[in-house]
Structure 1
Amino acid sequence: MEQSASTAAYASTQPRGTRADRFWSARRVPAGVVAVLLLGAVGLLLYDLLSVRAERPAMAWRRTLADELATRPLDDVWVRVGACAAVLLGLWLLALAVTPGLRGLLTMRTDTGDVRAALERSAAALVLRDRAMEVPGVRSVRVRVGRRRVRARAEAHFRDLDEVRGDLDMALEDGIGQLGLVRQPALSVAVRRGGRR
């Protein structure tokens, strides 16, 4: 299947015998930010603890924090705001850890278990749009490719709408099959009469 220059496919290696699941995002930026912040906080705390062990006074921020934690009541507004922020941050990090990400990639079938391939949803939509424009009577068409459904909205001009819809269904079903996706999405086609331009 020929692809235009704007289409894109991705490939990676995987161990033999694994399923062709979705691609997982590396999440380098969130992981790097969290790692740098934790490293800085732990390093600062360790330095302060070593200073106290060397019989020097603790840093002012740690004394202030200890006093605030010991004296501020739990129903204080700032305690609740800090707790909510910590919970939201933790939930966000958990969501990043357990979700694949890269929703724009559709996993493709491969003949070997050593290679994984994926097609961008925008590239799949472009290929299917080109197939739809080859159907006689189609003036214009918009194709949206999701993970579970392909939606095509077409305008017809000189043919009967039912005939155009039937031909469009066949062309897009064939096009979806030729994309070689692991999970073939369902097809939804709507055809209407185009206005004069």
Structure 2
Amino acid sequence: MSGERERVPVLDEPVPVLEGPPGGGARRFWSVRRVPAALVALAILAVAGLLLYDIAAVRAGRPGMRWRRALADDLATRPLDNVWVLLVALAVMALGLWLLVLAVTPGLRAVLPMRRGAGPVRAGLGRKAVEIVLRDRAMTVTGVQSVRVRVRRSKAVVRAVAHFRELTDVLADLEATLDDAVEELGLARPPQVSVHVVRPARKG
């Protein structure tokens, strides 16, 4: 063996957090969602701190905060069909629905799950990595000048520019090459490849 170390590929996506029992089908990876959780925790901490301070001040014989007394008086006299009450209620409801959606959906749409083996380990490929692989494989086809690849969950759109050869021949070779490339990636749900081949735009 040579003295060179074996190169280990580095993933461009963070290691996902798995939730739920191991096994099953090709489930998506669950996002950690640190930012929404941190924002909600900070908001609750701030509101709880203010209320706790106000309650302690009232218990100590001092008057409550002016903003809380003004808010309580305003809410006691303002009708429920007021525009501002309705707007605040809609905003709170939208925020609650957004948090519910985050709680019940996996997230990490940029990570495509790979086929599982016999072990409990799950693997995934980032969409950018899949796009790079498909673009590099498409550039190996004779006649292809440039390629743009856009990968989604269930579809990969490939737009190629061919500067010689018949477009139908280039299209056939691209479809065969990209189908093989997608199969070699080992994705649990291989995206459907849609290939478009055009001639270079004429200058002038």
**What is the TM-score of this pair, normalised by structure 1?**
0.86
Alignment partner, residue 67 of structure 1: 73
Higher RCO (Cα < 8 Å, 6 or more apart): 1
Instruction: Specify the alignment match of 1:88 in structure 2.
Output: 94
Residue 152 (str. 1) matches residue 158 (str. 2): yes
Q: Contact 2:111–2:125 at 8 Å: present in 1 too?
A: yes
Aligned residue number for residue 127 of structure 1: 133
Among 73, 76, 95, the alignment partner of 2:82 is 76
Amino acid at match of 2:77: T
Q: Is 1:43 matched up with 2:52?
A: no
- Cα deviation for residue 106 of structure 1 reads 0.9
Q: 2:33 and 2:115 mapped to 1: Cα distance?
A: 25
Contact 1:8 1:123 in 2 (8 A): no
SS at match of 2:112: strand
SS at match of 1:115: coil
What does residue range 20-59 of structure 1 map to in structure 2 within 5 Å? 20-59=26-65
| Corresponding residue number in structure 1 for 2:148 | 142
Q: Distance in 2 between matches of 1:94 and 1:24?
A: 15
Correspondent of 1:185 among 167, 182, 191: 191
- The alignment yields a C-alpha RMSD, in angstroms, of 2.7
**Deviations 1:62-116 (Å, cap 9, x if unpaired)?**
2212111111122223222222221222122222222222211111123244212
Partners of 1:9 and 1:38 in 2: how far apart?
28
CA displacement at 1:136 relative to structure 2: 1.1
Kindly provide the amino acid, as one letter, of the partner of residue 23 in structure 1.
F
Letter in 2 for 1:192: V
Query: What runs of 5+ residues in structure 1 fail to find an aligned partner?
Result: none
**Paired residue type of 2:117:** D
Gaps of 5+ in 2: 1-6
Match of 1:162 in 2: 168
The TM-score normalised by the length of structure 2 is: 0.83
Give yes or no for contact 2:54–2:65 (8 Å, CA) kept in 1. yes
SS of residue matched to 2:159: strand
CA contact (8 A) 2:183 2:190 kept: yes
Q: Hey, what does 1:105 align to over in structure 2?
A: 111
Aligned to 2:123, the other structure's residue is in SS state: strand
